[in-house]
Structure 1
Amino acid sequence: MRVVVVDDDPLITMALKTILEADPEVEVCAEGSSGLEGVKLYRQERPDVLLMDIRMKEMNGLEASARILREFPEARILLLTTFLDDEYIIRAIRTGARGYLLKQDYGSILPSLRAVCTGQTVFGNEITAKIPDLLKKKGNFNYEVHGLLEREYQLICLVAEGLSNREIAEQMYLSEGTVRNYLSSILDKLELRDRTQLAIFYYRNLP
């Protein structure tokens, strides 16, 4: 797995490189210190994963991610920060980054990189714990634009809150089989693969 690391703190960059290359299957192929360098290095190296800080001079990691993903929609970007900020979380999701972790959680960085490399989307435990609060801040979502029924939108909201099919069935007064049928229809309409992608779709479309 080839990884580019971008952080404006050289000590953190060195620490990340040491952690990652302790795994013989990981190669840190380039290092940068700004969002602009992150964009340049991604173009040059085309890494399997770009591991990038959010708060940097010249161009922050969110802006750099947006620029890279416009040019390379398949890019896998894992964002790091020391700040548990609601706006950062929402912007990271909307931008299309594959993950958002706190730098302090060193133990989860390597497993998260592996997950992102296989196409998964990951969030640190602290960030996942904040998602229910973020959901309460949602405004009106135009579900009709996506060809969804109001009932299907209600189901998406419950999936995004982490409820199981059984719990959704209880809340919506449906059978589990009906919930599964609704879920299958929703995934087909939105061209998504699974519940995780459905939840991410929901977060990305928060107003």
Structure 2
Amino acid sequence: MKLILIDDDPIVSASLKTILEVNSDIKVLEIGSDGNQALELYMRHSPDIILMDIRMKETNGIEAGKKIMAYDADARIVYLTTFLDDEYVDEALNLGAKGYLLKQDFANIVPALKSIMANQIVFGEGVMNRLQPRHQRFKHDELSNKEHHLIELVAKGLNNKEIAEVVAYSEGTVRNQISALLEKLEVRDRTQLAIFYYQNLKK
């Protein structure tokens, strides 16, 4: 797993690098100190994951993330921050981040990164607790087996074409069914659909 770290605190960056590289399968390719460097380093190295703070001088992590996603829609952006503001969480979800983790939960950073490499979307416990009330009223048994399976495939990171191959439907049919699920569950996008799966359906 090859990573880029972006954090404006050099002590944090150095500590993270040490923690991560204790694992022999993780290599930190380079460290940046500002969101302005994020896209440049991403384009230079094409890392598996870019692990980035949110609040930084000049360009923050959200703006940097938007630029990276515009360059590569399949980029795995993971935010590692001390801030649990609703605005930041929502913006991270909307731009397609694969993870939103809290620095104080450092013991779970490496397992989270490995889950993301396995095409899962990972959010720290504090983030999940904040999102949980949105779907409390929904009953699990209101989903058919087919709908449950589609949500599971989305949560695993498959795109519409890949899902169509698994379920033997046309890509257009898959797109329509996922749109119907978004409306039924009152979630905005595929990322929130994946969060719903991990909160409510995964056993």
TM-score tier by shorter-chain length is: 0.7 to 0.9
Match of 1:24 in 2: 24
Return the offset for 1:189: 3.2
**Partner deviation per Cα, 1:158-207 (whole Å, 9 max, x = no partner):** 5xx596xxx432xx5xxxxx722444578723576xx9xx9762738xxx
Return the offset for 1:80: 1.1
| In structure 2, C-alpha distance between the alignment counterparts of 1:184 and 1:22, rounded to whole Å | 37
Change (3 A) 1:58 1:25: same
Match of 1:9 in 2: 9
The answer to whether the aligner puts 1:201 opposite 2:190 as a matched pair is yes
Return the offset for 1:120: 1.2
Conserved? CA contact 2:100–2:124, under 8 Å: yes
| In structure 1, C-alpha distance between the alignment counterparts of 2:149 and 2:115, rounded to whole Å | 24
The answer to whether the aligner puts 1:189 opposite 2:198 as a matched pair is no
Match of 1:72 in 2: 72
| In structure 2, C-alpha distance between the alignment counterparts of 1:77 and 1:89, rounded to whole Å | 13
Where does structure 1 lack aligned partners over 5 or more consecutive residues? 136-157, 173-177
| In structure 2, C-alpha distance between the alignment counterparts of 1:90 and 1:115, rounded to whole Å | 21
Secondary structure, counterpart of 1:104 in structure 2:
helix
The answer to whether the aligner puts 1:179 opposite 2:144 as a matched pair is yes
Larger radius of gyration: 1
Change (3 A) 1:190 1:10: farther
| Aligned AA (1:117) | M
Match of 1:121 in 2: 121
Match of 2:98 in 1: 98
Change (3 A) 1:181 1:86: same
Conserved? CA contact 1:7–1:53, under 8 Å: yes
| Aligned AA (2:37) | E
The range that moved more, 42-51 or 181-190, is: 181-190
**Partner deviation per Cα, 1:3-55 (whole Å, 9 max, x = no partner):** 00000000000110000000011110000000011111001010011000000
Q: Which 4+ runs in 1 deviate beyond 3 A?
A: 181-187, 189-192
Alignment TM-score, normalising by the size of structure 1 = 0.71
Instruction: Percent identity, please.
Output: 38
| Aligned AA (1:105) | D
| Aligned AA (1:63) | E
Secondary structure, counterpart of 1:105 in structure 2:
helix
